[in-house]
Amino acid sequence: MSQPTAARDGLSVGEAAREAGVSIDTLRYYEREHLLRTERTPSGHRRYSPGDLEWIAVLTCLRETGMPIRRMREFATLVGEDDDATIGARIDLLAEHREDVLRRIRELEANLAHVEGKIAYYRGRSAG
Amino acid sequence: MSQPTAARDGLSVGEAAREAGVSIDTLRYYEREHLLRTERTPSGHRRYSPGDLEWIAVLTCLRETGMPIRRMREFATLVGEDDDATIGARIDLLAEHREDVLRRIRELEANLAHVEGKIAYYRGRSAG
DNA sequence: CGTTGACCTGGACCGCGCTCCAGGTCCTAC
DNA sequence: GTAGGACCTGGAGCGCGGTCCAGGTCAACG
């Protein structure tokens, strides 16, 4: 209990989930969706390396910016090919995503202004 | 055909949908969800007034900023009560939503920086 | 050795926000 | 009067991104 699993190299799925701030089911789901591959212990338990955790952080970042799983799979495939010839494609994909995110931020800001206008309107109305 | 429906007062659901930039099904769905009430012609067809269109624009703005339907229903209920005593509650709801949106914008911006970092990394790798 | 808890799999299920469909009505134009 | 198109209803279906469950295995502890 003092050093629960530090000696094994790699974290269990439960530990990795806690570290990464996602659910165990999400990690397994990502694997089914081919966003992630993991080593297994001889008995079939998943083991997560520090590199895996970094990759999960990348996935989480893409998800939080609204990238669909389908698109994340494309990216994961490019990265998984581990071929420098795919680097251009990776940049293109990320750059396109960047534009999407910027567009969405601008949309949010525009709509936010309307919400604020509405708030101001109600404040005026309640003040009489 | 030259003045299709301008003489009737109020737009048909198809016309309103086109004006508002949403689908006919969405308008009917919003009505089922009690976000919207509409007048009906004697034969039961929906009629949308300019005020209805303004309200639809508000709903669309809230949706585009990610407000769940459930919450929109709360707001619609407050507005529908048409009682100045609910104005404080409307302000509170919108102000809370405003905070949510601001939070999400900040999150997006933070994650965007990571995406940009990744792009820069790949650019370096492909140049180097 | 038995118990306990974390893990495995395949597959069903969920909440969300629509979207589509069948079967019917209604209105206009020819 | 009949053809066409827009409308009505209730309810099923969909894509997404997980989430949950049953039934079984594995690992560490006492």
* Residue A11, token pair as written in the block: 């974290």
Burial of A62 (0-12, 13-18, 19+ CB in 10 A): buried
Q: How many domains does chain B have?
A: 1
Q: Range of B42's domain?
A: 13-127
Identify the pLDDT of residue B8. 66
Instruction: Please report whether residue B71 resides in a domain.
Output: yes
**Protein CA at A97 to nucleotide C1' at C8, angstroms:** 35
Q: Which residues pair with A48 in a beta bridge?
A: A11
Angle in degrees, 0-180, between the axes of helices A87-127 and B87-127, rounded to the nearest 10: 160
pLDDT at position A9 over 60: yes
In the predicted model, residues of chain B with pLDDT beneath 50 are 1-7
pLDDT at position A128 over 80: no
Instruction: Please report whether residue A89 resides in a domain.
Output: yes
Q: How far is CA B92 from the centre of its chain?
A: 18
Q: How far is CA A111 from the centre of its chain?
A: 25
DSSP state of B82: T
**Would the Cβ of B69 be found within 7 angstroms of any atom in strand C?**
yes
Angle made by CA atoms B56, B58, B60, in degrees to the nearest 5: 70
Chain B residues whose C-beta is within 8 A of a chain A C-beta are: 58, 61-62, 64-65, 84, 87-88, 90-91, 94-95, 97-98, 101-102, 104-105, 107-109, 111-112, 114-116, 118-119, 122-123, 125-126
Which of B65, B88, B111 has its CB closest to that of A65? B111
pLDDT in tens, A78-124: 999 988 999 999 999 999 999 999 999 999 999 999 999 999 999 99
pLDDT in tens, A11-43: 999 999 999 999 999 999 999 999 999 999 999
Instruction: Please report whether residue B2 resides in a domain.
Output: no
Distance between CA atoms of residues B70 and A67, nearest Å: 24
C-beta of residue A27 within 8 angstroms of C-beta of residue A56 = yes
| CA of A27: nucleotide with nearest C1' | D18
Instruction: Please report whether residue A4 resides in a domain.
Output: no
Q: How far is CA B122 from the centre of its chain?
A: 38
Instruction: Please report whether residue A1 resides in a domain.
Output: no
Q: What is the mean pLDDT of residues A68-81?
A: 97
Q: Which residues pair with B48 in a beta bridge?
A: B11
Instruction: Please report whether residue A8 resides in a domain.
Output: no
Domain with B53 in it: what CATH number?
Answer: 1.10.1660.10
Q: Mind giving me the DSSP string for B31-70?
A: HHTTS---EE-TTS-EEB-HHHHHHHHHHHHHHHTT--HH
Q: Mind giving me the DSSP string for A74-97?
A: HHHHHHHHT-GGGHHHHHHHHHHH
Instruction: Please report whether residue A3 resides in a domain.
Output: no
Q: Which residue is nearest to nucleotide D18 (CA to C1')?
A: A26
Strand C-proximal residues of A, range 37-76, CB below 7 A, are: 40, 44-46
Instruction: Please report whether residue A78 resides in a domain.
Output: yes
- CA distances (Å), A8 to each of B39, B82, B91, in order? 69, 65, 55
**Closest CA relative to residue B8, chosen from B44, B37, B49:** B49
Identify the pLDDT of residue A1. 36
